Amino acid sequence: MEISAKADSKSNTIFHQWEAESKLISFILLMFSFAMIRNIELVIIMILVSAVMFFVSGISYSCLLNRWKTPAVLVLLMGLMVLFFSEGQILITAGSLTITREGLLGMIILISRVMSILTLIVILFETTPFLDIITAMHNLGLPKILADMTLFTVRYIFTLNWQLKQMKKAIILRGFIGNKISSWKEYAILIGGILVRSFEQSDRVYKALAIRGYSFEQIRSAPAGWDSRDKTMCYSFAVLALLISSIQVYLNIPGV
Amino acid sequence: MHIPDGMLSAGVCAAGYGLTLLATGYSIKKINQSREPARDIPKASLLTAAFFVASLVHIPVPPASVHPLLNGLLGAILGYYAFPAILVALFLQAVMFGHGGITTLGINAVIMGFPAMVCSIIYRRFKNSEQSSISHSVLSFVTGSMGTALSVILFVLILINFIPANINAEAEKIAIYTGAAAHIPLVIIEGILTAFVLNYIRKVKPELLDTNF
């Protein structure tokens, strides 16, 4: 997923038109309600909700699959651990390994939850320009230090990454072979070099900002007005999140 | 070493956000007390970007390679900015690459940020300009390896203890020990790398280490 000032401009779905502040609140509520899910009955609802949202968002499958791939190894390892080492009603025994009903359900719930929340994250960040997200977070109370640091960091990641690649290319041309343990010192110099360069560059950046009037005052931009569609979407998401959480709390009561 | 979304319960995620709020609040309070926060923010941000980029460098550990965490080094250099810097970097990693998550951002910040704060205190407490190269190397090694070791301990304990399932106690114990043991080489590599980097900066740009962020 790439950070850009614009969201995917090819689509113009309801998620793309949704105002960032109310969208952020709604998605976070829904993500946390998904994180609460412990019962297989609610897993079906969770998968349905995230699948419907994904189809409405018009995002490509490849984008979603790329996002699912990243945590796959860790999630699979934890899923297998839950599958084979959970106590409960034994379903299958193969040698020293046993699969219990609780283990099987636990693994299904864990993997479904990870995939559903990741789907929501893909929808949120693919349909909202990054700058709008940071502005919305700032308007919702994110301290100026964090908002400024996020924007400055994003601005310079790509520049510094390019510089690092150039530095690496330069030392390779001077005979550096980077695949041996003995090359750790060269890697350390590479890392130290990029830190020193960024430190030197930061002074120039500050001076350039200062003459353009940059200061440390907490200024919030005027909150974008929520139109009736934004309000309807936000309330619908909040009700859905509340419903899922309430059902989960009810199902957690012993004896239910 | 980031926990993805959906692995932990909403309660644990909320507790992570609570701890992160406290640590961020404390850091911001200290930053606001500094003489020129407006000057320091671009500096800390560029260094955050540099750390972000540097953590993507693959260090060869034949037959494979690892990418460093650098949270000990980040703590040593950024001081009070270390926790906000880690929070920003984790947010960007979650958005850009899918490492970590949004619901687990708080807990991941605790895993990476608290050790960085500890390393910051240790490095700044024991560092002095007349220190010999050897004692500075030892201090840097301890700073780097401690950052990673504390993060590994927190990561493994949180992951194993808060995975909601009826996991057998014996299996849980084995998983904790295996998880921790698997990271020992990384702890040593981080220590060596941090010592090299801090010694390099001490020779080339000592004012970077003396900057009172």
pLDDT of residue B164: 57
Q: Is B181 touching A (CB cutoff 8 A)?
A: no
**Structural domain includes residue A86:** yes
**Structural domain includes residue A115:** yes
Which one of B50, B92, B167 has the shortest CB-CB distance to A85?
A: B167
Q: In which domain, by residue range, is A158 found?
A: 143-211
| Distant-in-sequence, close-in-space partners of B177: CB < 8 Å, separation ≥ 6 | none
A181–B94: do the CB atoms touch at under 8 Å? no
| Distant-in-sequence, close-in-space partners of B182: CB < 8 Å, separation ≥ 6 | none
Q: Are A33 and A245 in contact (CB under 8 A)?
A: yes
For residue B165, which amino acid is it? A
Q: Please count the other Cβ atoms lying within 10 Å of the Cβ belonging to residue B39.
A: 18
Token pair 């460098």 is found at B57
Q: Is B102 touching A (CB cutoff 8 A)?
A: yes
Q: Are residues A95 and A168 in the same domain?
A: no
**Structural domain includes residue A218:** no
pLDDT of residue B177: 79
Q: Are residues A28 and A106 in the same domain?
A: yes
**A7-16, A22-31, A55-64, B44-53: segment of lowest average pLDDT:** A7-16
Residue to mutate among A149, A167, A245, with most B CBs inside 10 A, is: A149
CA distance B133 to chain A (A): 16
Q: Are residues A32 and A152 in the same domain?
A: no
Tens-digit pLDDT profile for residues A215-236: 666 556 666 677 888 888 899 9
**Structural domain includes residue A2:** no
pLDDT of residue B100: 83
pLDDT of residue A183: 78
pLDDT of residue B85: 92
Q: Is B107 touching A (CB cutoff 8 A)?
A: no
Q: Which residues of B touch A69 (CB under 8 A)?
A: 98
Q: Please count the other Cβ atoms lying within 10 Å of the Cβ belonging to residue A213.
A: 6
Tally of domains within chain A: 2
Q: Are residues A170 and A131 in the same domain?
A: no
Domains belonging to chain B, first-starting first, are: 10-210 (1.10.1760.20)
Tens-digit pLDDT profile for residues A34-56: 988 888 889 999 999 999 999 99
Tens-digit pLDDT profile for residues B84-125: 999 999 999 888 877 888 889 999 999 999 999 999 999 988
Q: Are residues A30 and A110 in the same domain?
A: yes
Closest chain A residue to B201 measured between Cα atoms? Answer: A192
Q: Are residues A247 and A202 in the same domain?
A: no
Q: Are residues A91 and A27 in the same domain?
A: yes
> What integer is the mean pLDDT of A211-216?
71
Q: Give CA–CA dist A134/A158, Å, rounded.
A: 18
